[in-house]
């Protein structure tokens, strides 16, 4: 088990390093950072002064090396835009994104798993059809559109929920649904498929034969096995949500890390973007790693692979 | 759970939720406004966005004030001013003014503020706003002299715009980051709450001095950052916002048809124009834009009126000058104008040796639909365009290197009502100068440094006549912006795209 964990850990670090380097290089293709930093009102002379001040005239590899060395010490530099340490800037916003991510994945699991189980219990029934419809719709609806539809219905027509902001828990209801809905279909389909497979296996027949109730068979015997792949999928989806809530955060004016990423990209705030990309990819890598370990722990067969 | 039980649960939840949300309205004397962008720092010297200017005008005061309607300069924190010589301005200060924290306003504050912002290493974001000042010295408690580095006729305009006065003791103690979190000024509104990135709360300054800005009427202004315009509209519908601005024309048109909302349109100082590589800096070879006839053909090829009527709408106008018409020195009558005449454009191209037209790269960084319309007019006279839409920073980079044969650009003059803020930025052989014309530069040098208004006017007019006669640019149109607010709000926007809370009232 330890060997498995170490192997996975090494792989994860390698991925993290590669991601950071690729994203660092890509940013330089997006235009002159000095011009972006100086803003639309800057003259040519202003831009030149900024280029020298921030060291954009140095070779890219040197800039990357500098950045990585300080990043390993937890120092991501100072945001060009806010003139504040990037680390504290991100720490301030991460709580909103984390809260949203946890709410989103909980919503997805709490709705998708029961739906998946129900669909598996009665394949091709009306419930299964509805579940299938929901999953197709979930995959097809762009989140900005779905978000606006929710706003129109629940905030403008019914006035049950506030449109945007983070003042109360009610502000998180619609963003949670929009973010979680995106992860629902995959979780539901996987639960359904896993349940169908498990339900036809011998030990379920044995469990039924010894007179266990259907509910006990479903949740105690079948779901426990069927849920293993769902756990790893949910962990991966959680990683997605933390990095992928950019659109949701912008629509609902939640000032989290995703919104900060979007804004920072548009104003070429390199230190912030680089730190965010590293943090988002670390989330993704950590959650994938945890999913692997969790899987191996739940299912000893996985350890050898 | 039965259906009715579920319904009542939801209703209870909705009630408790709405109790926490602030309902903006006349009854609570709170006006809720949305900003699209987040300010990097509320300290007006350390941000460069329009939202920052809006905050600056509400929280702080300048020494001088320019009436946005008449363009007349009036005393604000100063009551009078005289030029001692070309580089020394003496100002008499208003007595009895207090900062929001109770500190008295006097010459020490002016001296401290000017000396702080003029020092380059203190890092004021837009250096152009302050780098014409060398220092300030106190004559007595209510008299100061501002010393200039060089002759700078636009000084009064800058003192009435971006240069505002800070409390010396407080600023020395907290610096720009402290000022950003807890701003203190003399302005009509004081800041009572700052949650960076989320919202600001301004409250009426009950002790505001007798300023030409007028007295604030609305008690509280709550400003929230809402990035998405659709979300802003939804907030407006649901009653949690009272006023939004920079609303796209199509959305504004729909809002204008609805009851309960007022849509106001006003032009901005932003001018759109085509810049052509007249100096031949790009790698294009042969470079048709070196020929004045080709540049004139480009000017004749585009139906700017149709662009204004169908795309920009509102109070946008066709612009014939390399500056915004209201700017001092922007001599519209000196400009050579080019009517929409595609036949003449074709004839000019033929005379220049391009009877079948030519192909060129064409760049833009914003307003793709305007750029595409321009491209189709050019195609119609035979100028085939390879259209490239770039990020602003990427295009600026290419512009500075002189690698762009033809581009659609815009300039907002940072709301400075003086031609030097536009034409002089582009025609004095800087890295963004595509014309590099010595005669134009000579006239602009005189106009920019003279303190005699008549001399300035004369030489700006000469420069403008030369630029338009040689058709170095094809000036296009001015931009406009839409303000949408609830019907119980009374507000008349101004042409400089600055929201003035002091001029807003409840109906």
> Which of A94, A246, A251, A253 is the best substitution to test chain B (most B C-beta atoms within 10 A)?
A253
Higher pLDDT, B279 or A43: B279
Task: Name the residue among B350, B378, B348, B344 with its Cα closest to residue B362.
Answer: B378
> Which of B396, B403, B428, B434 is the best substitution to test chain A (most A C-beta atoms within 10 A)?
B396
**Average pLDDT of B79-86?**
93
CB contact under 8 A, B234 and A156: yes
Q: What is the pLDDT of residue B189?
A: 97
pTM here is 0.78
pLDDT (tens digit, 0 to 9) for every residue of chain A, 305 residues total?
788 888 888 888 888 888 878 777 766 666 677 776 676 666 777 778 778 877 777 887 888 888 788 888 888 888 877 878 889 889 888 888 999 999 999 999 999 998 888 888 888 888 889 888 888 887 788 888 888 899 989 988 888 888 888 878 888 999 999 998 888 888 988 998 888 888 888 888 888 888 878 777 877 778 878 888 888 888 888 887 887 688 888 889 888 888 888 888 877 777 888 888 888 888 888 888 888 888 787 777 766 65
Task: Indicate the pairing of strand B383-389 with strand B406-411.
Answer: unpaired
| Cα separation, B483 vs B220, whole angstroms | 19
CB contact under 8 A, B128 and A263: no
Does residue B476 surpass a pLDDT of 50?
A: yes
CB contact under 8 A, B394 and A31: yes
Partners of B14 on chain A (C-beta within 8 Å) are: 158-161, 170
Q: What is the ipTM of this complex?
A: 0.74
Q: Taking a C-beta distance cutoff of 8 angstroms, is the pair B270, B410 a contact?
A: yes
Task: Name the residue among A165, A184, A183, A182 with its Cα closest to residue A251.
Answer: A165
| Cα separation, B321 vs A302, whole angstroms | 73
In a 3-state reduction of DSSP, which class is residue A293? helix
pLDDT tens profile B315-326: 999 999 999 999
Nearest residue, CB atoms, B225 vs list A83, A173, A253:
A253
DSSP conformational letter for B128? G
Partners of B126 on chain A (C-beta within 8 Å) are: 41
DSSP conformational letter for B236? H
Residue whose structure tokens are 């600023």: B171
Interface of A with B in 23-42 (CB under 8 A): 30-36, 39-41
Tell me chain A's radius of gyration from C-alpha atoms.
23
Q: Taking a C-beta distance cutoff of 8 angstroms, is the pair A113, A186 a contact?
A: no
Residue whose structure tokens are 């629902």: A184
CB contact under 8 A, B17 and A168: yes
Task: Name the residue among B38, B419, B100, B209 with its Cα closest to residue A81.
Answer: B38
Does residue B13 surpass a pLDDT of 60?
A: no
| Cα separation, A257 vs A276, whole angstroms | 8
Task: Name the residue among A217, A146, A154 with its Cα closest to residue A185.
Answer: A146
Is A54 part of the contact surface with chain B (CB cutoff 8 Å)?
no
| Cα separation, B256 vs B279, whole angstroms | 46
**Run of H or E including B372:** helix B368-380
Instruction: Chain B: give the shortest CA distance to residue A35, in Å.
Output: 5
**Average pLDDT of B331-357?**
95
Nearest residue, CB atoms, A36 vs list B14, B41, B393:
B393
Partners of A49 on chain B (C-beta within 8 Å) are: 127
CB contact under 8 A, A35 and B393: yes
Residue percentage of chain B with pLDDT more than 90: 69
**Average pLDDT of B54-59?**
94
Q: What is the pLDDT of residue A28?
A: 67
Q: Range with the lowest mean pLDDT among A38-52, B240-254, B412-426? A: A38-52
Instruction: Chain A: give the shortest CA distance to residue B407, in Å.
Output: 15
- Confidence band for B18, pLDDT divided at 50, 70 and 90: very low
CB contact under 8 A, A170 and B393: no
CA separation, residue B72 to residues B153, B156, B208, B376, B485 (Å)? 16, 11, 22, 42, 28
CA separation, residue B457 to residues A281, B20, B496 (Å)? 58, 58, 22
| Cα separation, B295 vs B345, whole angstroms | 9
CB contact under 8 A, A164 and B231: yes
Residue B216 CB neighbours (<10 A): 24
Average pLDDT over chain B, rounded to whole? Answer: 90
Q: What is the pLDDT of residue A202?
A: 84
Q: Taken in order B412, B302, B335, B351, is the CA torsion positive or negative?
A: positive
| Cα separation, A80 vs A269, whole angstroms | 6
CB contact under 8 A, A169 and B17: yes
Instruction: Chain B: give the shortest CA distance to residue A150, in Å.
Output: 11
CB contact under 8 A, B431 and A44: yes
**Run of H or E including B253:** helix B249-256
Task: Indicate the pairing of strand B358-364 with strand B383-389.
Answer: parallel
Is A162 part of the contact surface with chain B (CB cutoff 8 Å)?
yes
CB contact under 8 A, B224 and A159: no
Does residue B22 surpass a pLDDT of 50?
A: no
Q: What is the pLDDT of residue B294?
A: 96
In a 3-state reduction of DSSP, which class is residue B119? coil
CB contact under 8 A, A162 and B240: yes
Partners of B275 on chain A (C-beta within 8 Å) are: none
Give residues with Cβ within 8 angstroms of A3, minimum separation 6.
none
**Run of H or E including B374:** helix B368-380
Does residue B381 surpass a pLDDT of 60?
A: yes
Q: What is the pLDDT of residue A39?
A: 65
Interface of A with B in 103-132 (CB under 8 A): none
Contacts 24+ apart (CB under 8 A), B102-108: B103/B167, B103/B169, B103/B170, B103/B184, B105/B77, B105/B165, B105/B167, B105/B186, B106/B141, B106/B142, B107/B138, B107/B139, B107/B140, B107/B141, B107/B142, B107/B143, B107/B144, B108/B138, B108/B141, B108/B168
Nearest residue, CB atoms, A253 vs list B46, B127, B231:
B231
Q: What is the pLDDT of residue A19?
A: 84
CB contact under 8 A, B13 and A35: no
Residue whose structure tokens are 């299912």: A299
Residue B259 CB neighbours (<10 A): 5
In the Cβ-directed half-sphere of A163, how many Cα atoms lie within 13 Å? 28
Instruction: Chain B: give the shortest CA distance to residue A111, in Å.
Output: 17
Is A81 part of the contact surface with chain B (CB cutoff 8 Å)?
yes
Q: Taking a C-beta distance cutoff of 8 angstroms, is the pair B363, A1 a contact?
A: no
CA separation, residue A273 to residues A24, A260, A270, A277 (Å)? 9, 9, 5, 6
Task: Name the residue among A245, A83, A148 with its Cα closest to residue B39.
Answer: A83
CB contact under 8 A, B396 and A160: no
Instruction: Chain A: give the shortest CA distance to residue B173, in Å.
Output: 18
CB contact under 8 A, A156 and B38: no
CB contact under 8 A, A162 and B430: no
Residue whose structure tokens are 């500190």: B103
Does residue B16 surpass a pLDDT of 50?
A: no
Assigned token pair, B354? 């391009």
**Average pLDDT of B298-305?**
97
Q: Taking a C-beta distance cutoff of 8 angstroms, is the pair B418, B329 a contact?
A: yes
Is A155 part of the contact surface with chain B (CB cutoff 8 Å)?
yes
pLDDT tens profile B164-176: 999 999 999 999 9
Partners of B38 on chain A (C-beta within 8 Å) are: 255, 263
Q: Could you tell me which chain A residue has the CA closest to the CA of B10?
A: A160
**Average pLDDT of B202-215?**
95
In a 3-state reduction of DSSP, which class is residue B186? coil
Q: Taking a C-beta distance cutoff of 8 angstroms, is the pair B45, B51 a contact?
A: no
What phi and psi, each to the nearest 5 degrees, are found at residue B187?
-65, 175
Task: Name the residue among B426, B411, B421 with its Cα closest to residue B476.
Answer: B411
| Cα separation, A90 vs B162, whole angstroms | 31
DSSP conformational letter for A219? I
**Run of H or E including B83:** strand B78-85
Partners of B22 on chain A (C-beta within 8 Å) are: 167
Interface of A with B in 190-249 (CB under 8 A): none
Helices (H) then strands (E): counts for chain A: 15, 0
DSSP conformational letter for B28? T
Residue B210 CB neighbours (<10 A): 10
- In the sheet that holds B261-276, the strands lie side by side as B189-195, B199-204, B220-225, B30-35, B243-245, B473-486, B261-276, B406-411, B358-364, B383-389
| Cα separation, B140 vs B145, whole angstroms | 10
Size of interface A-B (CB pairs under 8 A): 139
Nearest residue, CB atoms, A30 vs list B49, B391, B425:
B391
DSSP string covering A9-36: HHHHHHHHHHHHHHHHHHHHHTS-HHHH
Q: Taking a C-beta distance cutoff of 8 angstroms, is the pair B51, B200 a contact?
A: no
CB contact under 8 A, A160 and B224: no
Does residue B106 surpass a pLDDT of 50?
A: yes
In a 3-state reduction of DSSP, which class is residue B183? coil
CB contact under 8 A, A43 and B225: no
| Cα separation, B359 vs A246, whole angstroms | 40
Q: Taking a C-beta distance cutoff of 8 angstroms, is the pair B79, B94 a contact?
A: yes
């Amino acid at each position: 088990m330890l060997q498995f964990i170490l192997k996975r850990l090494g792989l994860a670090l390698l991925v993290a390093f590669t991601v950071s380097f690729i994203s660092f290089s890509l940013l330089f293709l997006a235009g002159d950072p000095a011009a972006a930093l100086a803003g639309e009102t800057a003259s040519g002379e202003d831009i030149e002064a900024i280029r020298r001040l921030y060291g954009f005239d140095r070779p890219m590899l040197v800039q990357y090396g500098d950045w990585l060395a300080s990043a390993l010490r937890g120092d991501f530099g100072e945001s060009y835009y806010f003139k504040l340490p990037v680390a504290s800037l991100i720490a301030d916003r991460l709580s909103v994104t984390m809260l949203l991510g946890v709410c989103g994945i909980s919503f997805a699991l709490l709705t998708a798993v029961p739906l998946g189980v129900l669909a598996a219990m009665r394949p091709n029934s009306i419930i299964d059809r509805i579940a299938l419809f929901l999953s197709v719709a979930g995959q097809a609806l762009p989140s900005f559109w779905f978000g606006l539809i929710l706003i129109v219905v629940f905030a403008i027509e019914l006035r049950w929920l506030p449109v945007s902001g983070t003042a109360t828990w009610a502000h998180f209801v619609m963003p949670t649904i929009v973010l979680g809905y995106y992860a629902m279909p995959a979780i539901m389909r996987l639960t359904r498929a896993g349940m169908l497979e498990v339900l036809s296996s011998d030990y379920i027949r044995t469990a039924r034969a010894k007179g266990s109730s259907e509910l006990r068979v479903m949740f105690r015997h079948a779901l426990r096995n069927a849920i293993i792949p769902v756990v790893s999928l949910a962990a991966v989806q959680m990683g997605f949500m933390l990095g992928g809530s950019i659109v949701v955060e912008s629509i609902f004016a939640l000032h989290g890390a995703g919104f900060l990423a979007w804004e920072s990209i548009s104003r070429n705030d390199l230190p912030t973007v680089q730190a965010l990309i590293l943090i988002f990819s670390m989330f993704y890598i950590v959650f994938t790693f945890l999913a692997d370990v969790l899987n191996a722990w739940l299912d000893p067969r996985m350890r050898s692979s | 759970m039965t259906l009715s039980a579920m319904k009542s649960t939801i209703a209870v939840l909705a009630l408790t939720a709405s109790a926490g949300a602030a309902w903006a309205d006349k009854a609570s004397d709170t006006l809720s406004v949305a900003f699209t962008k987040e300010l990097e720092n509320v300290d007006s010297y350390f941000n460069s966005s329009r939202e920052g200017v809006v905050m600056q005008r509400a929280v702080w005061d300048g020494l001088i004030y320019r009436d946005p309607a008449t363009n007349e300069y009036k005393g604000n924190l100063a009551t009078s001013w005289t030029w001692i010589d070309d580089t020394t301005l003496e100002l008499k200060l208003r007595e009895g003014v207090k900062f929001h924290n109770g500190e008295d306003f006097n010459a020490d504050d002016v001296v401290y503020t000017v000396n702080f912002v003029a020092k380059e290493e203190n890092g004021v974001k837009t250096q152009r706003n302050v780098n014409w000042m060398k220092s300030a010295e106190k004559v007595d408690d209510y008299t100061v002299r501002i010393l200039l580095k060089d002759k700078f006729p636009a000084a009064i305009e800058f003192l009435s715009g971006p240069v505002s006065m800070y409390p010396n003791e407080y600023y020395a103690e907290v610096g720009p980051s402290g000022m950003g979190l807890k701003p203190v000024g003399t302005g009509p509104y004081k800041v009572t709450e700052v949650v960076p990135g989320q919202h600001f709360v301004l409250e009426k300054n009950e002790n505001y001095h007798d300023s030409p800005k007028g007295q604030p009427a609305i008690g509280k202004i709550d400003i929230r950052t809402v990035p998405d315009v659709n979300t802003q509209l939804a907030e407006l519908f649901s009653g949690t916002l009272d006023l939004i601005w920079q609303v796209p024309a199509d959305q504004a048109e729909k809002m204008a048809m609805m009851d309960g909302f007022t849509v106001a349109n006003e032009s901005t100082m932003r001018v759109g124009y085509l810049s052509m590589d007249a100096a031949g800096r790009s790698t294009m070879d042969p470079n048709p834009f070196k020929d004045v006839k080709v540049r004139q053909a480009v000017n004749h090829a585009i139906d700017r009126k149709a662009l204004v009527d169908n795309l920009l709408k509102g109070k946008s106008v066709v612009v014939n000058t390399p500056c915004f018409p209201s700017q001092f020195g922007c001599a519209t009558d000196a400009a050579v104008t080019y009517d929409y005449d595609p036949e003449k454009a074709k004839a000019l191209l033929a005379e220049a040796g391009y009877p079948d037209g030519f192909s060129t790269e064409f760049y833009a960084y914003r307003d793709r639909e305007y750029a595409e319309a321009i491209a189709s007019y050019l195609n119609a006279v035979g100028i085939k365009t390879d259209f490239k839409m770039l990020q602003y920073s990427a295009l600026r980079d290419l512009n500075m290197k002189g690698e762009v044969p033809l581009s659609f650009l815009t300039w907002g003059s940072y709301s400075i009502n003086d031609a030097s803020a536009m034409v002089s930025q582009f025609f004095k052989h800087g890295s963004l100068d595509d014309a590099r014309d010595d005669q134009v530069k000579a006239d602009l040098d005189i106009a920019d440094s003279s303190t005699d208004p008549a001399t300035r006017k004369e030489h700006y007019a000469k420069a403008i006549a030369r630029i338009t006669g040689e058709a170095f640019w094809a000036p296009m149109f001015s931009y406009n912006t839409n303000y949408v607010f609830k019907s119980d709000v009374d507000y008349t926007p101004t042409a400089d795209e600055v929201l003035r809370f002091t001029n807003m009232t409840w109906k």
